[in-house]
Structure 1
Amino acid sequence: MKFWKKEKDCCSWDGVTCNTKTGKVVALDLSNSWLQGPLCSNSSLFKLYGLRRINLSFNNFSFGTIPSEFGQLSSLGGCNLHGKFPDNVFQLHKLEGIYVPCNYHLTGFLPEFQPSNSLREVTLDYTNFSGELPKSIVNLNSLTRLALHECNFVGSPPSSIWKLSQLTYLDLSSNHFSGHVLPSTLGNLLKLTNLLLKSCQFSSELPSSLGNLTRLEVLSLYNNSFSGQIPSSLGNLTKLKALYLSINSFSGQIPTSLEKLTELNILSLEDNNLDGVIPSCLFTLPSLKKLFLGSNQLSGPLTIENISSSQLEILNLYANKLEGRIPWMMFKLANLTYVCLENNNLSATIEFGNFCKLSKLQFLFLSSNSLSITTARTASELPKFRTLFFYSCNIDEFPEFLKTQDQLKALDLSWNKIESEIPKWFWALGKNLEFLDLSGNKLHGFFTFPPLFTSISYFLISQNNLTGIIQPSIRKWIGLKVLDMSKNHFGGTIPKWLGSSLEILNLQGNNFNGSIPHEIFTYGSMHDALRVVDLSHNQFQGRVPQSIINCSKLQILNLGHNQLSDTFPFWLQSLPDLQVLVLRSNKLFGPIWHPIKYFGFANLGTIDLSFNHFDGSLPSEYFRNWGYMSKALDGNKSDMIYFGHNEKMSNYEVRYAYSMSVMNKGSEMKLRKALKLFMSIDLSNNRFDGEIPSSIGKLQSLIMLNLSSNNFTGIIPSSLGNLSELESLDLSRNKLSGRIPQQLANLTFLAYLNLSHNTLEGPVPQGTQLDTFSYSSLEGNPRLCSSQLPKKCENTDTQIPFLRKDEEKESENGFTWKVVAMGYGCGFVIGAVIGHVTLSRRSSWFWTSFVGSTFVNKRLGKELVARNSH
């Protein structure tokens, strides 16, 4: 509006449209005009009697009710609206269109729709409604466009919506229509060109009547719970340009009827359970440019033939079961820019010179197959790559062809067989490099930080045999976000100026010494970014730097296995996001409770203070405010997400996932993806005394509890029976007395128990899983008796008998022995499943198998699906 000039005809102003015959203003586009405040009925807008359309989007209006004067309009648009959605909006009878997207502060229920033959467009995307979509939507019988993307509607979409026969565009994406089944009447919307139902929690099978919608150009059912086979009737949708069925539970084979979709540009079927071979007809579709089939069960050899008409640019087949060689015909797909074949069973040797034929190729992912890559002799003729991922490709030397790759932004050579020093020519790649992973090789020699790496964000060289110190040249790496030098032989002290932009610092398992400088937690902007700090398994001395309190986003602090000597850092409780705290195996001392500095970590999920010199007693309310552990885990284990960092780089996303070792069930276990799920407390091998606080029974998500090798006295709290998720309990080598509480029989997931070397007495509760543990779990309690101990219980009346099958009944506390037995079995199975998920390399994300900090590449397919589904 600042360009509106009085001396010029208003019909020439930006955003103003006039009737060419009458000269009256008929339309106003005032979007992005910095307007604010309410719109009143005496607004000068309403003196424009010829006005029919207005767009007020991306301003800052605060509507109470829409002025009735808007009734003369045929189109209404607005943005940044606040408060309750106005009830009178659908009573403006001349209205042809309502366009009010991106109003996150617009709340309330959507009012009932009044009968209207004029309203043709309703766009309410990205609003914050409550309740269900009104059934009265059927009154809008002239509606052609209905856009309700991410409006927070719940329940089921009304069946009447499938009766709006004039619809050409329907978007119900990202609402909460849990468990809803698409009806066959959907096939009556014969005029639809766009059907967008992604992330709606729809389930069951797709109706074959979808094949009736022959005008469809875009069909997005991305991220639902659809199952069964993909209907072959989709082959009738011959005008389809984009088909998104990824992230569902479709099974069976890919229907060959898709070969009829000659206008298809994008086909996304990834993250399903599809099996069988990939139909070769997909490579002959004349318009197909992007093919996403990753994360399925597709098997057999990859067959590509008759490609003369192919326009394929993106081929994404990661995480399947494809076998055999890479077909030579793939090298004739001349338009390819992106190829991902990672995590399959492809074998044989690849002569890298074949890629000279793909002159447009920029992104190549071959990791985790049984491939062997030989160095190309024609390095100068290769395309200029931007991304190369050769994780675990049996490479035994730095490929010579890299010398000419001066546009490379991401390179992964991790977990190969390279056993040498890093050649000097290799560092010339650093001009544009943003990501470099050399982890898990056998690199050796003195490492020098190359000053050319000014654009590097991820630098991973863990698990090699490199030596050296952190040199001043790293100060020029001003964009560095992830530094992982773990499990090498680096030494010296940590410089005070270490990276100002770091989010992940992992120096675990080296020979660093001296004190931990407090400056690294205050230098530049580092304290605003740090999420993970792992300095464990080094030789650091001195105190825990109190400057860590500046790191407000810190999630993990691991200082274990050093020689730190200090009292407990009470101030860590001020960090709002701290979830993992490991101070294991140091020389820390004193109490961990202070009557003034109240102790309670609101978000802590794992704490390990074992093998120190902590002492004192824990008051009864000690664990009362440990909120994160007190929350019940949901049934689908949704907390199984990673600690780390992810970042969008060009046409793909990179992810670094931190992992660490924890003690569980008497042995070491390595966790990556399940680290946020694994709730544990380890206070073992200290000098704590007094009674075990009963408040520990409030931590209902706790999986591992180890209080062994202390001086705890008194009885075992019966409240431990409330720890329904507990799998491992170790109270051994204390001074506990009294009987084993009957309530421990409630712990149906318990797989490891150690109560040995205390002064417990009386019978072990029988008929429960407690009497299935071995002698070593109970030894060293001379007054304890049971069938598995040398001391047998003489008075059998004091024992709890095992109920016969015909005597199974509910006890007073609400569980049956049958449930206990079943729970024990389930606990074993669930434990095994979680263990598999935790340690598996295969999931919808490709989690690499090496132990330690891990990088994961998020495939281009998902990014494009998410973007195009909007």
Structure 2
Amino acid sequence: MFQLKKLKWLSLLSNDLSGEIPEDIRNCSSLIRFRVKDNKLTGPIPREIGNLENLDALDLGSNQFLGNVPAEILGCRNLTYLDLHSNLITGQFPGELSSLVSLQFADFSDNLIEGTWPFRAFPPNIVFFSISRNNFSGEIPHWICNLNLINYLDFSHNHFSMIPPCLGNMSDLINLDLRNNNLYGTIPKFIKCSNLRSLKLTGNQLEGSLPRSLVKCKKLKILDVSNNKVNDTFPRWLVNLPELRVLLLRSNNFHGSIGNHKTKLSFPNLRIIDLSHNMFHGHLPSNLFKNLIAMMNGSVEKGKLQDMGEGYLQYMDYTYYRDSITIDINDSITIDIKGNYIDVVKIQTLLTTIDFSNNSFNGEIPKVIGKLGSLKGLNFSHNNLIGHVPILFGNLTNLEWLDLSSNKLTGDIPIQLIDITSLAILNLSKNHLVGPIPQGKQFNTFTNDSYNGNLGLCGFPMTKTCGNDEGQHPQLSSTIQEDDFEFANGFNWKVVLLGYGCGFMFGLSMGYLVFSSENSKWLANGVYGKRHNKVRRSKKNARRRIN
């Protein structure tokens, strides 16, 4: 195959190919596109690729290539698409990327490349650039802000320390990902951000307040500043971002109340909100929940989507188009799903979650939350909430996890919750709930851990039984295991049967005493008559024969 000197396109994407790329690839001098992404190819990247002067697209991503990036690749002056992501490439970058003057797409993510910032300049037409998940360190240079056409910048999961303030002036930027570095200082002001859709700064050491200039980013869909040291009140002004879908403020120093009954908080497109592990207090904001329109619509019934509206099934990611090459750039975030922090690679609009846990919220849980029909996850744990679990929670038929633990909730568990057949995780522990635990459907799968710390609860799976008058029933030992629960209940019936047996024997004894007394002979004669006398005579005759 590599003797075909006139071969122009070679695409072997997504197969099970192994081994190395042969050096004979240099014979394919007419090759324009060489794409072998998503295979099991190994060995070094052949230096001979540098002889392919007509090469326009080189796609070696998602393989097992080893060693350095060969400097000879920089000799492919017509290269516009270069993808080396998800390999085992090591060392430092060999030279100046700016020598590839036609380059528009460059992805070196998920490798083992190390060192400080490797470039002094970028190709002028670069649109997509990613070096995420490597071992780069040092400062991100200021000159990067001079890129006029860049849409996608991803420097996440490295060891960069400084963030240039001018990043907020890149008017064509669509996605900026600086997650999980060592960035410190304040978040830059965003002045020219009319096209920005995703801003992810989680997992750094950023301080100060959230810049109000973000209101100028009218197309912003994802804002993630979680796991930093941001010190601010709740940014109510974010209601001016009509497209906002994901708001992650988790694990910062946000404080104060979110709002009162007069505060208008309308986030019509918001689908994921995480305010956990902060210092918020006050009542849960009813005005916020009643305006989460995207969480009310789009209920899922029997696997069919209803009332979704146009574009509801669209992924919130960025797609790069260049001629016949289409690349889906997965827009991911990290959220708490069923008690575990998980990287959600593609953020479907079907995923709707609320997490206000580990704050100091008080008051009752707003009943309006029962109208959020498409909600998948709800976490209000570790607050100071009082009152009852709303009966309207039974309407949340798409809910998969519910955590209300470590509050001060009272009353019983609404029987309506058994209608949530999709519920996989339930945690109501460490409250003041009372009464019987609902039985049936998903509730039969929950263990003691879902209810521990509620001394007034009874029924399966707790060892405390329920009854009309609990004082009349013996209290089961807390050491009885669940497997012995049925036996313990059956033991009461054995006691009853033993009582009947004792009564029967007692009746026979009393009858014997009555019939053996002299005063009762007339009764025996009256009842048995001549038959009784015949029995007595037959016994006498029998004794005579024996004698």
User: In the aligned structure 2, how far is the partner of 1:435 from the partner of 1:377?
Assistant: 21
Residue from 9, 23, 47 that aligns with 1:338: 9
Give, as a single letter, the amino acid of the residue that structure 1 aligns with 2:408: K
Residue from 372, 387, 390 that aligns with 1:717: 390
Residue from 88, 99, 120 that aligns with 1:417: 88
2:266 matched to 1:606? no
Residue from 643, 646, 657 that aligns with 2:330: 657
Partner of 2:251 in structure 1? 585
Q: Deviations over 1:605-663 (max 9, x none)?
A: 00000000011113555422211000124545684542232232233233322111111
Give, as a single letter, the amino acid of the residue that structure 1 aligns with 2:442: Q
Distance 1:439 1:619, change over 3 A: closer
Residue from 35, 43, 55 that aligns with 1:385: 55
> Equivalent residues in 2 for 1:725-764 (5 A)?
725-764=398-437
Q: Deviations over 1:702-737 (max 9, x none)?
A: 000000000110000011110111000000000001
Partner of 1:570 in structure 2? 236
What secondary structure does 1:669 align onto? Answer: strand
Aligned length: 461
2:16 matched to 1:350? no
> Equivalent residues in 2 for 1:505-516 (5 A)?
505-516=176-187
Q: Does 754-763 or 597-606 show the bigger shift?
A: 597-606
> Equivalent residues in 2 for 1:449-488 (5 A)?
449-488=119-158
Partner of 2:296 in structure 1? 630
Distance 1:596 1:653, change over 3 A: same
Distance 1:782 1:640, change over 3 A: same
What secondary structure does 2:69 align onto? Answer: coil
User: In the aligned structure 2, how far is the partner of 1:380 from the partner of 1:690?
Assistant: 68
How far the C-alpha of 1:448 sits from its partner, in A, is 4.0
- Partners of 2:133 and 2:156 within 8 A in 1: yes
- Partners of 1:602 and 1:627 within 8 A in 2: yes
Partner of 1:124 in structure 2? none
Unaligned runs of 5+ residues in structure 1 are 1-327, 798-870
How far the C-alpha of 1:747 sits from its partner, in A, is 0.3
Q: Deviations over 1:125-144 (max 9, x none)?
A: xxxxxxxxxxxxxxxxxxxx
- Partners of 2:265 and 2:287 within 8 A in 1: no
Distance 1:629 1:780, change over 3 A: same
- Partners of 1:552 and 1:576 within 8 A in 2: yes
Distance 1:759 1:469, change over 3 A: same
Distance 1:768 1:795, change over 3 A: farther
User: In the aligned structure 1, how far is the partner of 2:69 from the partner of 2:166?
Assistant: 33
2:169 matched to 1:522? no
Distance 1:628 1:336, change over 3 A: farther
Residue from 777, 785, 794 that aligns with 2:450: 777
Distance 1:595 1:762, change over 3 A: closer
User: In the aligned structure 1, how far is the partner of 2:49 from the partner of 2:251?
Assistant: 51
How far the C-alpha of 1:475 sits from its partner, in A, is 2.9
User: In the aligned structure 1, how far is the partner of 2:172 from the partner of 2:468?
Assistant: 69
What secondary structure does 1:735 align onto? Answer: coil
How far the C-alpha of 1:553 sits from its partner, in A, is 0.4
User: In the aligned structure 1, how far is the partner of 2:252 from the partner of 2:48?
Assistant: 55
2:361 matched to 1:688? yes
Partner of 1:447 in structure 2? 117
Distance 1:651 1:450, change over 3 A: farther
User: In the aligned structure 2, how far is the partner of 1:660 from the partner of 1:676?
Assistant: 13
Partner of 1:543 in structure 2? 209
How far the C-alpha of 1:373 sits from its partner, in A, is 5.0
> Equivalent residues in 2 for 1:490-501 (5 A)?
490-498=160-168, 499-501=170-172
Partner of 1:489 in structure 2? 159
Partner of 2:518 in structure 1? none
Distance 1:486 1:725, change over 3 A: same
Q: Does 400-409 or 718-727 show the bigger shift?
A: 400-409
How far the C-alpha of 1:449 sits from its partner, in A, is 4.0
Residue from 356, 361, 364 that aligns with 2:31: 361
What secondary structure does 1:528 align onto? Answer: coil
User: In the aligned structure 2, how far is the partner of 1:501 from the partner of 1:377?
Assistant: 35
2:226 matched to 1:553? no
- Partners of 1:640 and 1:674 within 8 A in 2: no
Sequence identity of aligned pairs in percent?
38
> Normalised by the size of structure 2, how large is the TM-score?
0.80
Instruction: Indicate the RMSD between aligned Cα atoms, in angstroms.
Output: 2.1
Give, as a single letter, the amino acid of the residue that structure 1 aligns with 2:282: G
Distance 1:636 1:431, change over 3 A: farther
> Equivalent residues in 2 for 1:71-82 (5 A)?
none
User: In the aligned structure 1, how far is the partner of 2:469 from the partner of 2:26?
Assistant: 82
> Equivalent residues in 2 for 1:788-827 (5 A)?
788-795=461-468
> Equivalent residues in 2 for 1:81-100 (5 A)?
none
Give, as a single letter, the amino acid of the residue that structure 2 aligns with 1:422: F
Give, as a single letter, the amino acid of the residue that structure 2 aligns with 1:483: L
Give, as a single letter, the amino acid of the residue that structure 1 aligns with 2:297: K
Distance 1:796 1:422, change over 3 A: farther
User: In the aligned structure 1, how far is the partner of 2:327 from the partner of 2:409?
Assistant: 50
What secondary structure does 2:25 align onto? Answer: helix
Give, as a single letter, the amino acid of the residue that structure 1 aligns with 2:151: K
What secondary structure does 2:64 align onto? Answer: coil
Residue from 335, 348, 371 that aligns with 2:41: 371
- Partners of 1:451 and 1:477 within 8 A in 2: no
What secondary structure does 2:194 align onto? Answer: helix
Give, as a single letter, the amino acid of the residue that structure 2 aligns with 1:463: R
User: In the aligned structure 2, how far is the partner of 1:553 from the partner of 1:336?
Assistant: 44
Distance 1:430 1:795, change over 3 A: farther
Q: Deviations over 1:62-90 (max 9, x none)?
A: xxxxxxxxxxxxxxxxxxxxxxxxxxxxx
Give, as a single letter, the amino acid of the residue that structure 2 aligns with 1:617: H
Q: Deviations over 1:26-64 (max 9, x none)?
A: xxxxxxxxxxxxxxxxxxxxxxxxxxxxxxxxxxxxxxx
> Equivalent residues in 2 for 1:190-229 (5 A)?
none
- Partners of 1:782 and 1:791 within 8 A in 2: no
Distance 1:641 1:335, change over 3 A: farther
Larger fraction in helix: 2
What secondary structure does 2:410 align onto? Answer: strand
User: In the aligned structure 2, how far is the partner of 1:493 from the partner of 1:723?
Assistant: 42
Partner of 1:618 in structure 2? 284
Give, as a single letter, the amino acid of the residue that structure 2 aligns with 1:572: L
> Normalised by the size of structure 1, how large is the TM-score?
0.51
User: In the aligned structure 1, how far is the partner of 2:29 from the partner of 2:231?
Assistant: 60
* Structure 1 outlier segments of 4+, above 6 Å: none
Partner of 2:69 in structure 1? 398
Distance 1:796 1:340, change over 3 A: farther
User: In the aligned structure 2, how far is the partner of 1:673 from the partner of 1:640?
Assistant: 12
Unaligned runs of 5+ residues in structure 2 are 306-310, 471-547
Q: Does 697-706 or 380-389 show the bigger shift?
A: 380-389
User: In the aligned structure 2, how far is the partner of 1:775 from the partner of 1:364?
Assistant: 58
Distance 1:341 1:380, change over 3 A: closer
Distance 1:642 1:421, change over 3 A: same
Distance 1:627 1:445, change over 3 A: same
Give, as a single letter, the amino acid of the residue that structure 2 aligns with 1:624: K
What secondary structure does 2:409 align onto? Answer: strand
Q: Deviations over 1:756-786 (max 9, x none)?
A: 0000001101233213201111101011112
Larger CA Rg, structure 1 vs 2: 2
